[in-house]
Amino acid sequence: MRPRTPTRTRAVAPKPNDDPETATGWEHITPEFLWNTELARRVRYLDEFERAEVRDALEVAFNAHDGQARKSGEPYITHPVAVAAILAEMELDHESLVAGLLHDTVEDTDAVTFESLEKRYGTAVRRIVEGETKVSKVSSSLSKESQQINGTSAEDVKSEDLAQMFLAMTEEVRIIIVKLADRLHNMRTLEGLKPEKRVKIANETLLVFAPLAKLLGMYKVKNELEDLSFRYANPDAYAEMSRRCDELSKQQESVIQRAAVTLQETMQGDDFLRGNTVGVTIQAKAKELYGLHRKLSAGGRRSGSALNGDSKNIDDIFEVAQLRVILHDTGAMAGMTGEARRLQASRVCYHVLGIVHAMWPPVPGNMKDYIATPKLNGYKALHTVILPISPDDANPTGGIEETPVFPMEIMIRTEAMHILAENGIAADAEIRQQWRAGARRTSRALRARRRAELRYAASQEGRDVDLKALEREEALDMAAAAADKGTEENVDASLRQVAWLKNIQSWQKEFIDVLSAREFVDTITSDLLGRRVFVFTPKGQVTNLPHGATVVDYAFYTGETGMLMEYAKVNGVQVEFDHVLTNAEVVEIFNEGKELPAHVMLRRLRKLRLNASTRSARAKIQKQLARLGSGDIKELRESLQVEALTLCGESIPDNLGPGPRTVTYCAYMFELVAADRTGLLATVSAAITKSGANIDSYTGVKVADDCFKMSFAIHFDDNELRNGASLKSLDENLSRLFTEVTSFKGVASGSLYCDVDAAVRAAGQE
């Protein structure tokens, strides 16, 4: 049942040589050999002139890497050829293949420059190869130990490189596709490295590259990267999980195969499906080993490596079986418009879902409709979990067969949905057309320029030029131009299709003065690479948010209205700002009808920041706080002054100065968002008491699976304040308290603000 990652042999192997003194075993590796054995059959989908460009790039790469070898001893050229072959299997445009062949030539050789690449193959190839160089820097910095590099920590260097990589992706998404092919081949050939190097590369792959493949919808690449990385990073856990899956496979195989046959026969006899599809494929498979491991691991719900978390009992795993139903409906939709095709594809999938639920009892709460609400990466399918039991399972004595009842996931998708699920953005028709049309235009323009130069050389310099060959090339280009007529260049197609790329661009512009490189990278990895939740607007529009997002995060994701947010309703009921959203909830934000005074806006923003879960929303709020002139201690002091003036019944100036004010009683709310750690409550309480404050009340609310919000109502009521002392000493006490508590292990964020209502009540002014 569980398909194992295939053992991949070398594409080329050394051969014996008659002369032992000159033999290397690799003399047969020539451009012609590599083209005929590795690339020619894979690039048949390209036109003749596109194949000619790839063949030319192979010659350039071969000469540039001549004499270089991999750690395994193979000629280095075998690696870029393998990368190009992976890209060709995705049927990408010829520029992507050229970039795959040349991706290491500038960084690793002196024979090629970015300028020469641009002159020969165009700006897109140069942009991809330049982006590859930046991504390679990320790989290098990720592998460094935490140490000081020219006065800067290795963590900061890594963050700078990652930030540059993410930004480069927004300009040319093919950069990361080529890099994923590069990383995939490196993972397939990792055996030639030392064990410690293998572990570093595997963890790096789990941290950055597998999540990026998922974001691009390239699940085939993502699953293989995770499986290989898991195997090298934690071989013991990999072996144990493999053992458990093999054990379950033996127990469940007969039930799964019977279910697959029964479903196939039922669907073949269905009149609706016979009229609206041309065939059905059912694949029995098991869930991915790394995905199962993450569910067992303490940190498994987060993106990235969770290989060292405390695990539950592996024998508690039972739900590993999957049936994948692929509906071949393309031939049955000839003549339909694009919209009609989409509606018909949905109708067919929902019909099959009804068949499945009529055959077997579904497990409540496990049906996921990714057709009505696609994933952020465009993935579409219907998922449901059923119990594959039927009357045939009963034995003659009235009992049930020895095989225990187990849950089985069924995924239903059309053929087009399946292709998109396997290769993601690399299979998106509109984006692929954009890339290929642009690549063809560039190549034709470059070839026309070269022909003009050669003809000039022939007529003016008397150079011997094959004019017949130029005419044949020109005829090919004219035919290609005629075939491409009507296609328009759309440089924004990939950004429009991949919404998260636009998020990265807008965040970089918006947060450039607010976030450091490390904070910017943390925002991307936490808000984009993690789990997701979808909610609806009152008008039925879908918003995709990071898992754990609150209504405050929603307000800032859907526009700039979050700044004036007064309250929110979820499913028609007013909720608190810290309400954590779950799938399919309907969210509505209500804003203030008028502009708020500066001191009220400061207080409102501080409260919003405390209740924001995502880093991007908190960064937007922090930017507004900075714009209003607030800072850490300065913000705290001015806020205290505002509240003191309010208590005294005096007017508040628009621009507060740092001058001293006096009060007789100060009440505050001290709120923290922290991990659920034993002893943290006692530690924080002791620190508050030590600062001279009294704790009036405490509440703790769970805001995520392993995260709590702790709220302390505290007050200062001492002789110094009653005697009219300046707030300066109080500032210092609060500053020390805030700094101390927010540095405690497990504390993610904190906020400290005046509790005006409590202070007023204490002063007897209500």
pLDDT of 657 reads 44
Is the pLDDT reported for residue 284 higher than 50?
yes
Beta-carbon contacts of residue 387 (< 8 Å; ≥ 6 apart): 360, 361, 363, 405, 406, 407, 408
pLDDT of 412 reads 97
Model confidence pLDDT, tens digit, residues 586-626: 999 998 777 777 667 777 887 888 888 887 888 888 788 77
pLDDT band, residue 503 (cuts 50/70/90) = low
List the domain boundaries for the chain. 31-192, 242-427, 429-485, 499-627, 654-762
pTM as predicted? 0.69
**DSSP state letter for 398:** S
Query: Which of 276, 457, 431, 463 has its CA nearest to residue 352?
Result: 276
- Token pair belonging to 674: 């922290």
Model confidence pLDDT, tens digit, residues 615-624: 788 888 878 8
Helices (H), 216-318: 219-233, 235-268, 271-276, 289-296
Mean pLDDT over 703-725 rounds to: 68
C-alpha 163/C-alpha 171 separation (Å) is 13
Return the CATH number of the domain spanning residue range 242-427.
3.30.460.10
Is the pLDDT reported for residue 760 higher than 70?
no
**DSSP state letter for 40:** G
Return the CATH number of the domain spanning residue range 654-762.
3.30.70.260
* 3-class secondary structure, 408: strand
Catalytic, out of 47, 56, 91, 108: 108
- The DSSP bridge pattern shows strands 368-369 and 279-286 to be unpaired
Model confidence pLDDT, tens digit, residues 433-453: 888 888 989 988 988 998 898
Please report, in angstroms and rounded to a whole number, the separation of the first and last CA atoms in the chain. 72
Higher pLDDT, 362 or 527: 362
Residue 394's φ and ψ, nearest 5 degrees, are -75, 140
pLDDT band, residue 26 (cuts 50/70/90) = confident
C-alpha 281/C-alpha 414 separation (Å) is 10
Higher pLDDT, 747 or 18: 747
Return the CATH number of the domain spanning residue range 31-192.
1.10.3210.10
Lowest mean pLDDT segment, chosen from 61-70, 114-123, 360-369, 712-721: 712-721
DSSP 304-359: S--TTS-B--GGG----EEEEEEEE-GGGGTT--HHHHHHHHHHHHHHHHHHHHHH
Q: Do domains 242-427 and 654-762 have the same CATH topology?
A: no
pLDDT of 141 reads 52
Catalytic residue flag (residue 107): yes
Catalytic, out of 107, 471, 492, 676: 107
C-alpha 77/C-alpha 105 separation (Å) is 10
Is the pLDDT reported for residue 574 higher than 90?
yes
Q: Specify the residue for token string 């641009």.
A: 118
DSSP 89-144: HTT--HHHHHHHHHTTHHHH-SS--HHHHHHHH-HHHHHHHHHHHHHHHHHHHHTS
pLDDT of 62 reads 96
CATH architecture of 499-627: Roll (3.10)
Contact by Cβ (8 Å): 324, 381:
no
Query: Which of 160, 82, 89, 80 has its CA nearest to residue 128?
Result: 80
pLDDT of 495 reads 47
Lowest mean pLDDT segment, chosen from 42-56, 334-348, 479-493, 611-625: 479-493
The per-residue pLDDT of the chain, averaged, comes to: 79
C-alpha 517/C-alpha 524 separation (Å) is 11
Higher pLDDT, 304 or 353: 353
C-alpha 62/C-alpha 80 separation (Å) is 9
C-alpha 10/C-alpha 8 separation (Å) is 7
**DSSP state letter for 49:** H
